[in-house]
């Protein structure tokens, strides 16, 4: 029939595409169990969360106050230290992400160097603090590494055994109260001839928390001294103009 529209052949249905197989998800790194919130006896504590477990230490702030302030300031990011990449002094948490670069079974584990080598320079040194009640007479002593007297900075170590030959050489500033088994596991990590772990063991975070009152609370800022008002400047009286003496009268 003239003018009739010819029917179009039906469109071919699109062939279904075969489903794309889902990529297998990468296995997640084993999670380190969270540290449960517990009440502790009065004092200042550090929780060192590592890739191999959690270590909790009690800080000896009374016996080693300078060293404890140094450690907590670096952990919190309130104390300046030298960034090895830029050479600039920075204020940010130092220990998070650093490694234990030296481990010796039956002796100790050492970390805290921002370069991860043990040869880093943090840009400052602190004095030694030796207290008669703190000796290397048991495992779990947290102490400052150094290059000699009065050269402590940011590196520290945790002992795995009694090490009396270190008495009088390294400042002890904390004691492990939980996680000594983690210290032992880290110390037993396979290592190379330089005592460096073949698989990096990192500090994920180092957090500081106080239980009970602060024995040395920060002093409130002194009110700004009021400046005494400046005395009003007195106008000096203008000297009276002297009248010129009358000339002597002419004699008649």
Q: Which sequence positions are flagged as catalytic? A: 102, 107, 110, 146, 157, 166, 170
The dihedral built from the CA positions of residue 116, 119, 121 and 122, taken in this order, carries a sign that is: positive
Which tokens hold the place of 186?
A: 């880290």
**Distance, C-alpha 178 to centroid of its chain:** 21
């Amino acid at each position: 029939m003239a003018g009739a529209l010819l029917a179009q052949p039906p469109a071919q249905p699109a062939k279904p595409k075969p489903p794309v197989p889902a990529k297998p998800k990468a296995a997640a790194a084993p999670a380190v169990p969270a540290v449960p919130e517990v009440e502790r006896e009065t004092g200042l504590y550090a929780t060192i969360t590592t890739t191999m477990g959690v270590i909790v230490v009690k800080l000896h702030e009374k016996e080693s106050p300078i060293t404890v302030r140094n450690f907590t300031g670096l952990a919190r990011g309130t104390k300046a230290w030298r960034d090895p990449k830029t050479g600039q002094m920075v204020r940010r948490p130092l220990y998070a992400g650093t490694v234990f670069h030296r481990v010796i079974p039956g002796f100790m584990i050492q970390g805290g160097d921002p370069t991860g080598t043990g040869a880093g320079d943090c840009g400052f040194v602190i004095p030694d603090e030796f207290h008669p009640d703190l000796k290397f007479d048991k495992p779990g002593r947290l102490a400052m590494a150094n290059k000699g007297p009065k050269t402590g900075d940011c590196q520290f170590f945790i002992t795995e055994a009694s090490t009396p030959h270190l008495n009088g050489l390294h400042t002890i500033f904390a004691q492990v109260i939980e996680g000594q088994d983690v210290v032992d596991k880290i110390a037993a990590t396979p290592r190379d001839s330089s005592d460096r772990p073949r698989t990096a063991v990192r500090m994920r975070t180092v957090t500081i928390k106080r239980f009970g009152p602060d024995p040395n609370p920060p002093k409130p800022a002194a009110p700004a001294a009021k400046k005494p008002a400046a005395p009003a400047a007195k106008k000096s009286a203008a000297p009276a103009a002297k009248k010129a003496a009358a000339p002597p009268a002419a004699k008649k």
